[in-house]
Amino acid sequence: FLGGSERVSFVNAFSEVYTTLQDIVRDLGEEFPSGERTDEVLEECLGRLKMIVRILFYLLSVDFRVPPLIRASFLLKNIADLAKILPASERISTRAYISYELSQLLASNYQGAKESLSLEITNTFLLGLMVDPVSFCLQNSTRQLVQDVLSGEHEGYFAVLCGLHYQHSVRPDELELADIGDEVAVRSAFCQRVASYIESDSCRLETDCEDYLIFCDFLSCPSVEQTARWKTFNKKLGGQELSKNEFDELALQFRHTNWKDKGCEFDLLIRRLQPVYYSG
């Protein structure tokens, strides 16, 4: 255990390594510009990318916290973009390799259903979906987390967010499952359970920030059947019912997650909650 000045020195040293890795990735992009590329050049680029990924995941294995994960997410996005210059097979293998490393990071830190989902686990899961959702979700450690989330073993906003992003990122027929029908049924049960919670008196939108975020992200997520979202919205708020078209327009205003624009699903549209959630 490191504390005090030792902890500060440790964090600062790792921060410098992340900065160096960012510089290396940027330099790689300048060193291997678009145009004619020989097999030797592409092989060298691939080798350097894999070395950067190895160093990056070593850092995360030693310091598994939110700030390093956020820095890693930007690095991995840049690496995935840089890998686009590679031939299709190498590009796919690079993304799959990153997904595997993320699943191993998840396996090392996920404590199972006995604990609530941490922000670190949630960020790791979403990062895997961002890089290569299908490859990531085929890994055993990822499947275990998904199963726990969809079956209701975890509660709270992070669990709902992971479940929604999972359904939005991966279709059942992409997962090479023995019985797609079971997967569809589990997803449907998850959505029904969240909808029932929102409709219940236990869901306090006016005072509980987690409940408010669940309400906003669930009811705006296009992967949840529209009629179910519309009915849940009207049941919860009461009064004169909105039409489905009116509901869809309103959902675009209160959503926190950018479900609509392809490639931007992990961008937050609203970064601050209303003052009422800070007044307690």
Q: Which amino acid is at 37?
A: R
What pLDDT was estimated at residue 274?
Answer: 52
How far from each other are the two terminal CA atoms of the chain, in whole angstroms? 34
What pLDDT was estimated at residue 194?
Answer: 98
Look up residue 279 and give its two tokens: 């007044």
Q: Which helix (H) or strand (E) holds 97?
A: helix 88-109
Residue at token pair 């669940």 = 214
What pLDDT was estimated at residue 276?
Answer: 46
Closest listed residue to residue 129, CA positions, set 113, 146, 114 = 146
Q: For 105, what's the count of Cα atoms within 13 Å in the CB-facing half-sphere?
A: 31
Interatomic CA distance for residues 241 and 247, integer angstroms:
9
What pLDDT was estimated at residue 270?
Answer: 62
Q: Distance of alpha carbon 203 from its chain centroid, rounded? A: 24
Q: Find out whether 5 and 40 touch, Cβ atoms under 8 Å.
A: no
What pLDDT was estimated at residue 32?
Answer: 73
What pLDDT was estimated at residue 264?
Answer: 60
Interatomic CA distance for residues 124 and 103, integer angstroms:
8
Interatomic CA distance for residues 123 and 143, integer angstroms:
16
What pLDDT was estimated at residue 233?
Answer: 95
Look up residue 47 and give its two tokens: 């080798």
What pLDDT was estimated at residue 153?
Answer: 94
Q: Find out whether 195 and 227 touch, Cβ atoms under 8 Å.
A: no
Q: Find out whether 93 and 122 touch, Cβ atoms under 8 Å.
A: no
Beta bridge mates, 268: 257
Mean pLDDT of each 10-residue bin along the chain, 280 residues long: 57 82 88 69 85 94 91 90 85 92 95 86 93 93 96 94 95 89 96 97 91 93 94 91 91 81 62 49
User: Any idea of the CA torsion for 157, 220, 234, 280, to the nearest 10 degrees?
Assistant: 40
Q: Which helix (H) or strand (E) holds 45?
A: helix 39-62
